[in-house]
Structure 1
């Protein structure tokens, strides 16, 4: 069976593959342990782990994200506009993201995020 882009990306992140983006391994593993997050496209960057409903730029950018390390993890609403919570473990942060996902979230679509009113 062929891996989807989402499955391959998660696998490479969890395995710390040399060609994978770098992120906080504890946050990546905690997020991967959450079945609803595992269906989304993970994107580690600048100390954060964001989740998207699609696999290629432009991203959906409408889901919560995790930032932080070693005892202080913040979960932000989409676009880093609001802190949804600050917790002590990556597992708590991943659970908080799941708690704030829209009901219709996932699995991620392969490709670009549909832009409203685009030709």
Structure 2
């Protein structure tokens, strides 16, 4: 597709976010008003605002992102979740900070996913990641798993059986905090029954990931939801259709 197509897709995504209920609208408006960020494809999950150089999942992960700060205000992190850039009290200030930390030389957005971006050869950061060897390959795997986990935690995704199914392995198993065993079919039955509320976001902290084997990533993190806290553990594996959650377990911590 052409640059014009990518631009149209990107602007449509911005319009959708400008009316979304799961992301701070002041933050979205401020980012949309910043030309350096507006040209990038936006997506949101868990209250975080992300920017990508491609328009389809899996998105690029070489751009800083903005997340809400506990107690108010915002933080800039990235490109990886362990890279803290800075914090600000206002949406305008944090947007300026994120824009100032964009990598240079990658102004174009490509219509398609990260593979299309690499094939277009428009982003030096992506080219380095493609050919840098084991360390970068592992980093990309963890980022892909984190991206999938965040999408599954997004209330808007959890409320849609079709979107949930896209992220679950056919052999998916979950051990819930109550000890109940779930499979993909039982999870979809719950989501299709309308019992997942779009008003109950999960707050995530201390998320980390490690590559256990080629195509297998283990994620761990704390999740707080409506006053309940749990330690969660997920296994993601790479399939012919992308990264899928293979196993998940939650353990109450108080």
Fold agreement, TM-score > 0.5: yes
Is residue 6 from structure 1 mapped to residue 7 from structure 2 by the alignment? no
Task: Please list the CA deviations of residues 14-39 of structure 1 after superposition, one character each: whole Å capped at 9, or x if unmatched.
Answer: 2x1xxx57311111111001001000
Residue 89 of structure 1: aligned partner: 90
Residue 78 of structure 1: aligned partner: 79
Consecutive unaligned residues in structure 1, runs of 5 or more = none
Higher helix share: 2
Is residue 100 from structure 1 mapped to residue 101 from structure 2 by the alignment? yes
Distance verdict in 2 for CA 1:109–1:95, change over 3 Å: same
Query: 1:21, 1:44 within 8 Å by CA — same for their partners in 2?
Result: no
Query: 2:54, 2:113 within 8 Å by CA — same for their partners in 1?
Result: yes
Distance verdict in 2 for CA 1:21–1:61, change over 3 Å: farther
Distance verdict in 2 for CA 1:28–1:85, change over 3 Å: same
RMSD of equivalent CA atoms: 2.2
Q: Tell me how far apart the structure 1 counterparts of residues 21 and 36 of structure 2 sit (CA, whole Å).
A: 21
1:86 match: secondary structure: strand
Q: Who wins on radius of gyration, i.e. which is larger?
A: 2
Consecutive unaligned residues in structure 2, runs of 5 or more = 119-129, 132-254
Q: Tell me how far apart the structure 2 counterparts of residues 96 and 105 of structure 1 sit (CA, whole Å).
A: 18
Q: Tell me how far apart the structure 2 counterparts of residues 36 and 59 of structure 1 sit (CA, whole Å).
A: 18
Q: Tell me how far apart the structure 1 counterparts of residues 95 and 108 of structure 2 sit (CA, whole Å).
A: 17
| TM-score between the two structures when normalised by the length of structure 2 | 0.41
